Chain A
Amino acid sequence: MSIEGQTIHRETFVVNLGPQHPATHGVLRIKLTMDGEYIDDAEPVIGYGHRMHEKMGENRTYAKFLPNTARMDYVAAMFNTHGYVCAVERLAGITVPERAEYIRVVTAELNRLASHLLWAGAFLIDLGGFTPLLYTFDDREHILDLLESVTGARLTFCYYRFGGVCNDVDDQFVAGTREFIARLRSRMPMYHALITKNIIFRKRCEGIGIIPAETCRRYGATGPVVRGSGIAYDVRKAEPYSAYPQLNFNIPVYPEADCMARYLVRMDEMMESMRIIEQALDLMQPGPVMAEKVPKMLKPPKGDCYFNVESARGSFGVRAISDGTDKAYRLKLRSPCFSNMSLFQECSRGMLLADALALLGSLDLVIPDMDR
Chain B
Amino acid sequence: MDEQTQVPPGLIHFAAMDQILDLARANSLWPMTFGLACCAIEMMATGAARFDMARFGCEVFRPSPRQSDVMIVCGTINKKMAPAVVTLYDQMPEPKWVIAMGNCAISGGPFVFPGQYNVVEGVDKLFPVDVYIPGCPPRPEALIEGFLELEKKLTGKRRWPVAKAQ
Contact = CB atoms under 8 A, between A and B. Distances in A.
Interface string A176-193: 000000000000000000
24 contacts: A20-B34, A25-B35, A27-B81, A47-B80, A49-B36, A49-B78, A49-B81, A52-B117, A52-B118, A55-B116, A55-B117, A56-B113, A59-B115, A68-B110, A71-B37, A71-B38, A74-B41, A118-B41, A137-B50, A154-B139, A155-B42, A368-B37, A368-B75, A368-B76
- Chain A interface SS verdict (over half): helix
Interface string B104-125: 0000001101011111000000
Given A47-B80, A49-B78, A59-B115, A27 B36 contact: yes
B136 interface: yes
A155 B49 contact: no
B81 A19 contact: yes
Interface string B8-41: 0000000000000000000000000111111011
Given A27-B36, A134-B48, A141-B45, A51 B78 contact: yes
Interface of A: 19-22, 25-27, 47-52, 55-56, 59-60, 67-68, 71, 74-75, 118, 121-122, 133-135, 137-138, 140-141, 154-156, 367-368
Nearest to A53: B111
B84 A48 contact: yes
A212 to B, nearest CB: 31
Nearest to B36: A27
A75 B35 CA distance: 13
B129 interface: no
A55 B63 CA distance: 34
Interface in B63-83: 63, 65, 75-76, 78, 80-81
Contacts of A67: 110
A166 B34 CA distance: 34
Given A22-B63, A137-B49, A156-B137, A48 B81 contact: yes
Nearest to B108: A51
Given A19-B81, A20-B34, A51-B76, 14 more contacts: A20-B84, A26-B35, A47-B78, A51-B37, A55-B117, A59-B115, A133-B48, A134-B49, A135-B49, A137-B50, A138-B48, A141-B48, A154-B137, A368-B37
A48 B82 CA distance: 9
B44 interface: yes
A156 to B, nearest CB: 6
Q: How large is the interface on B (under 10, 10 to 19, 20 to 34, 35 or more residues)?
A: 20 to 34
B78 A26 contact: no
B154 interface: no
Contacts of B113: 56, 59-60
B88 interface: yes
A50 B50 CA distance: 31
Contact of A75 (B41, B50, B111, B119): B41
Contacts of A134: 48-49
A208 to B, nearest CB: 22
Contacts of A368: 37-38, 75-76
A51 B119 contact: yes
Contact of B37 (A19, A74, A141): A74
A183 B129 CA distance: 43
Nearest to B110: A67
Contact of A137 (B33, B44, B111): B44
B109 to A, nearest CB: 9
A140 B84 CA distance: 32
B84 A19 contact: yes
B126 to A, nearest CB: 15
A118 B78 CA distance: 26
